[in-house]
Amino acid sequence: MLIKATVPDFCAPYTGEHKEAVLDLTVAAWTPVFVKTKSDVLRFVYDAFYPEGWETRQRADVAALLDTEPDNIWLAFLDQDLVGFLGVRLHEEDQMGEIHIIAVSPRHQRRGIGRQLMHFAEQHVRARGMRMMMVETIGDAGHAPARRAYEAFGFQPWPVARYFKPL
């Protein structure tokens, strides 16, 4: 079921009172992703990135983002429930906006919330004079739904190769 909210009513600026709810949503949204990621990524890389577990790293990274860039975060609510959030950065030197982070609560996925968040990001970036949008994800099986969503929204992949070697 697509939520019929308009974009300005749908996205609210982040406030610190929602920090724990955003962090909880983060872990819930990424749990199925990281289950698959762990089996797809080189083990020494995974262990280096997540020595205390991915949940600990994800919570810390998102908490730092909320603390340092609160003006770049928007929240999506359905009634009073937090159902998603979005982080947008501007790279003025490249005339580019970036969807830095986006997540939808598992209970509310596949209902158009992610699409509405991306639409909001696009309007926000366009209103600030940027000429393009970028979103980045990983090429593993866990992120396949994200890649499909981005491509359905009109994003086109840029071939990138990142190599790792254990020392």
Residue 7 confidence (pLDDT): 41
Predicted pLDDT at 79: 82
Note whether 130 and 56 are within 8 A (CB): no
The predicted-structure confidence for 103-157, as pLDDT tens digits, reads as follows 999 998 888 899 999 999 999 999 999 999 999 988 877 788 888 888 888 888 8
* Mean pLDDT of the residues in the chain: 88
The CATH class for the domain spanning 7-152 reads alpha beta
Supply 151's token pair: 């491509």
Question: Which residues lie below 8 Å from residue 89, measured CB to CB, with a gap of 6+?
Answer: 69, 72, 97, 98, 100
| Greatest mean pLDDT range, 29-43, 57-71, 76-90 | 57-71
Report the pLDDT value the prediction gives residue 8, as an integer from 0 to 100: 38
The C-alpha atoms of residue 146 and residue 142 are separated, in whole angstroms, by: 9
Indicate the domain borders of the chain.
7-152
Determine the pLDDT at residue 5.
40
H or E element at residue 88? strand 81-91
In this prediction, residues 14-42 reach a mean pLDDT of 92
Check residue 155 and give its pLDDT: 87
Per-residue pLDDT tens digits for 155-166: 888 888 778 777
